[in-house]
Structures are given as C-alpha cells and as structure tokens.
Amino acid sequence: MPFKAKIHAVTLGVADLERSLSFYRDGLGLPTDGITGTQYAGDETTPAGAVAMFNLDDGLILSLYPRAELAKDAGLDPTGATRPTMSIGHFVDSRAEVDRLLDLAGDAGATIHGEAHERPWGIYSGYFSDPDGHLWEVLHFEGVPDPEPARS
Amino acid sequence: MPFKAKIHAVTLGVADLERSLSFYRDGLGLPTDGITGTQYAGDETTPAGAVAMFNLDDGLILSLYPRAELAKDAGLDPTGATRPTMSIGHFVDSRAEVDRLLDLAGDAGATIHGEAHERPWGIYSGYFSDPDGHLWEVLHFEGVPDPEPARS
C-alpha cells in the first residue's frame, strides 16, 4: 500500500508568529482561532507548541509555525540557512502506519530525519525529505479524535 | 471579500523533474499522468511548461516544477539561492479576481512580483510573497474549463 493521494496540512515556517498570523488572518482574511499550543514552552532542543492554524475548505489545514521550532520538531538544525521553510503533513490512522510510510519513503530514496516519536500535544510523527529537501511529516493524532477515520 | 479559505495547488520546485516524478510516482505511489506541457520550451526568461502533476483527493493538485522555471514564472531570479523552493496555488474565476486579490495581498503587506500576465498554457496569474518569502500564485484558467466554478 503506497501513500494515500492526500495532503492534510501545509505548514509554513515563519520568523514571527504574530506578524504572520496578522498577515493571513487580518490581511488575507483566512479563518483561524489564532495562536494555540502556547502551553508547550519547549527549550533549546524540544520544539515549542505555539502554532496558528487555519482550517481551509476540504479539511486542509494551513499552519504557521516558527521556523526554528519546525526544524527542532523535524530533528534538524534550528539555526542557519538549512532550516526547513515548510512541511507537508500527511495524516494516518496508527503509529504503525507512520512507521510503515517512513520506511516506504526511505526505500524510495527519501532522507529520514530520525525516529518517529510522540509530541506532548498528542502527535506521533516522523519526518522525511524528498530528493530536493522538501519536508514531509507523517503523523498520527493520539488522545484526540482522529481527523480522518481509517478507510475500510 | 477576502481570500477564499482554500488552497488548490502546492507546487514543489525541483532540480530534476524525472527524478522527482520517479520518487513521488514510483516511490510513494501517487497518481499522475507524468510529465506534461513539454510543448512549451521556454527560454532564458520565459518559463518552460514541463510539469508533473498529481491529482490528490479533494481536488488538491501537487505539482513538481523545475525550480528555475518556477522562479522565471514568478518573475524572480532563476539562478542562485534566492530561487523559490515552492509555491501555493490559489485558483479564482476571473482575471479581475486575480488582480483584485493581488492588490489585497499587497495591501496586507505582501511583496508583489510584477504584474499578473497570461501564460501560453492558458493561465493568467500573478505571484506574491508572504512576510517570510513563501510564494503564492493567484491564477485563473483560460481556454480550459475552470476547475472550480464561481460560487453564487
């Protein structure tokens, strides 16, 4: 079984979360609950949880997330020019499926960034980069309802 | 009227179209007709049309497009590190709406990359960058059926 033909989230790495929230919410008029996840403070190696999410049509989520935190979350260097600028989120319905798809991506030639692991905000995920360095996160929501039930 | 809460396309800038097509089609298993648009050869300033598109669930299009051609299409330097790595596509139902949303984005603080204009493959579009340099293309299909009819 390959990847489902679906992208569930697009995360843009930003320098200033408030500035970018204002641009997308007040400037472009996209709907959002504002910045959430501020209870997860993070530190030099653990990513902070603060994020701004926009629920778009057809269930797609546009997220704004500080670029340094995105790098930490992906197990990449949070400083310097090699930090990722964005990631594509692909949601699956179990931890095993996260692990399986990361293996599949690796077999296809992707660069796998460390082991998949659990985040305090209820996500088990791992990242890979495509041949040009575009970052994908394969993730499973835990402790909150699955946003897309398994297909039979 | 602000932007509709929708992203219609995600374009990834690639170094080698065949390599990336193979990764996404053969490696990840995503559905595609392969490389299309090869009849548009382009030149040093006009972007070539060759692209690989994946029709994902819910109508979202994932496109692979050479990074230098993406830069040319957006009116940006096709050489060097400042070339864009990706763009987000937002489809609208008229040229006037392309122009209006580019003005709206500019008023919101986006950087507008030149005037919207027509492409030989039947697209009228213009690009802007958000405060972090993430590239958006606002586009209208012409000469082919509109992929999303206007809402009443």
One DSSP character per residue, A66-115 reads EHHHHHHHTTS-SSSTTS-SEEEEEE-SSHHHHHHHHHHHHHTTPEEEEE
SS3 call for B130 = coil
Residue A146 reports pLDDT greater than 50: no
Q: Environment class of residue B137 by beta-carbon count within 10 Å: exposed (0-12), middle (13-18) or buried (19+)? A: buried
Mean residue pLDDT of chain B comes to: 93
Q: What is the ipTM of this complex?
A: 0.91
Average pLDDT, chain A: 93
CA distance A39 to chain B (A): 25
For A47, which DSSP code? Answer: P
Could you tell me how far CA B47 lies from the centroid of its own chain? 12
Does residue B149 have a pLDDT over 70? no
For A43, residues 6+ apart whose C-beta sits below 8 A from its C-beta are none
Please name the residues between 34 and 53 in chain B that touch chain A, using a CB distance below 8 Å: none
Task: Find the DSSP H helices in chain B.
Answer: 17-21, 67-73, 95-107
Element at A21 (helix H, strand E): helix A17-21
- Chain A residues with CB-CB distance to B105 below 8 A: 27-28
Q: Which CATH class, in words, describes the domain spanning A9-141?
A: alpha beta
Q: Answer yes or no: is pLDDT of B152 > 60.
A: no
Q: Which of A87, A130, A136, A151 to mutate to test the interface with B (most CBs of B within 10 A)?
A: A130
* pLDDT score at B43: 94
Q: How many CB pairs under 8 A join A and B?
A: 126
- The answer to whether residue B148 scores a pLDDT higher than 60 is no
What are the tens digits of pLDDT across the range B14-42?
A: 999 999 999 999 999 999 999 999 999 99
pLDDT above 60 (res A114)? yes
Minimal-distance CA residue of chain B relative to A13? B132
**A7 with B62: Cβ contact below 8 A:** yes
Interface test with A, best of B132, B136, B138, B148 (most A CBs within 10 A): B132
CB atoms within 10 A of CB A33: 10
Where in chain A are the domains? 9-141
> CA angle, corner B111, sides to B107 and B115, nearest 5?
90
Residue B62: pLDDT band by 50, 70, 90 thresholds?
Answer: very high
> In B, residues 72-131, which contact A (CB 8 Å cutoff)?
81, 85-86, 88, 104-105, 107-110, 130-131
Cβ A27–B104 below 8 Å, yes or no? yes
Which of A23-32, B83-92, B135-144 has the weakest average pLDDT? Answer: B135-144
- Please, is B152 exposed, middle or buried when counting C-beta atoms within 10 Å of its C-beta (0-12, 13-18, 19+)? exposed
Q: What is the mean pLDDT of residues B117-127?
A: 95
Whether the CA torsion A89, A93, A95, A96 is positive or negative: it is negative
In a 13 Å sphere around the CA of A7, the CA atoms on its Cβ side amount to 28
Decide if A119 contacts A38 (C-beta within 8 A). Answer: no
Check whether A151 has a pLDDT greater than 60.
Answer: no
